[in-house]
Amino acid sequence: MKIIEVKDQQAGGKAGFNIFKEALADNAQVFGLATGSTPISIYQELVASDVDFSDKISINLDEYQGLAGTHDQSYRYFMNQNLFNAKPFKESYVPNGLAENIAEETARYDNIIANHPIDLQLLGLGQNGHIGFNEPGTPFDSQTHAVDLTPSTIAANARFFANENEVPRRAISMGIGSILKSKKILLVAYGENKADAVAAMIEGPVTEDMPASALQTHADVTVIVDHAAASKIK
Ligand code: F6R
């Protein structure tokens, strides 16, 4: 793994932006995207730039079940607000949170990924080491699947809802196997509360108890961390 340590989230946004630019120069066509607070500074850099995604494809990692794309806490809405409205892609895929038949929806999503292999996958990191909504214990060969959110993830996400009861309990997420098929992976993490997960991801044993440790098995991973998130790397 290549580690880039930066001062803060703003500097991380610039470093991440450069990796997107390099991928575009390298003819990347398909971008795997993430939501959450971490990627926002990269999206701000992309929005402020002259980058053009209008002939590119984006595929998002995950979506809550039960929320329409128009709900202001849905990941589709987040992506529209933070990137797609300013920088439209030719096609932008996000799992359908309102799909009635989840097996059909996950198969549809796997098919999309198979037909559009991801050139650059952007990831954030959960405090428990999750990537996408792949919580500890998720098999490394998992494909797109329905997920029961853990109490810690529900609590962490409650800050975006009126109260914890409104946080959806289930989501649809690309699997770890789906993520590992990407040609290049960029994982970004900021803050002291990510420091344990960052150290375990990079230096710990490769174990399904620490989903992000699966990235040690991938040939092309870049990690952007601020000093606080890097503080427990030996
Ligand atoms: C988001 C996602 C999650 C987040 C992770 C970190 O699409 O898949 O894995 O990347 O929970 O979230 P933040 O960036 O809010 O700390």
- Residue 169, token pair as written in the block: 């309990």
Phi, psi of 53 (to 5 degrees): -105, 10
Whether the Cβ atoms of residue 81 and residue 43 lie closer than 8 Å to each other: no
Let me know if residue 22 belongs to a domain: yes
Q: What is the ipTM of this complex?
A: 0.99
Is 64 contained in some domain? yes
Pocket of ligand 1 (CB under 6 A): 34-38, 61-62, 124-126, 130-133
pLDDT tens by residue, the chain, 234 residues: 999 999 999 999 999 999 999 999 999 999 999 999 999 999 999 999 999 999 999 999 999 999 999 999 999 999 999 999 999 999 999 999 999 999 999 999 999 999 999 999 999 999 999 999 999 999 999 999 999 998 988 998 899 899 999 999 999 999 999 999 999 999 999 999 999 999 999 999 999 999 999 999 999 999 999 999 999 999
Per the domain annotation, does 102 fall within a domain? yes
Domain range spanning residue 58? 2-132
Nearest Cα residue to atom 10 of ligand 1: 124
Cα–ligand 1 centroid distance for 34 (angstroms): 7
DSSP-assigned letters across all residues of 190-215: -SGGGHHHHHHHHHS---TTSGGGGG
Active site residue 135: yes
Cα torsion angle, 57, 82, 33, 69, sign: negative
Separation CA 189–CA 197 (nearest Å)? 9
Q: What's phi and psi for 80, nearest 5 deg?
A: -60, -45
Pocket test for ligand 1, best of 61, 64, 182, 185 (most atoms within 8 A of CB): 61
Residue 94: its H or E element = none
Tell me, yes or no, whether 227 lies in a domain. Answer: no
- Asked if residue 83 is part of any domain, the answer here is yes
Q: CATH number, domain at 32?
A: 3.40.50.1360
Q: Is residue 70 part of a domain?
A: yes
In a domain, 229, yes or no: no
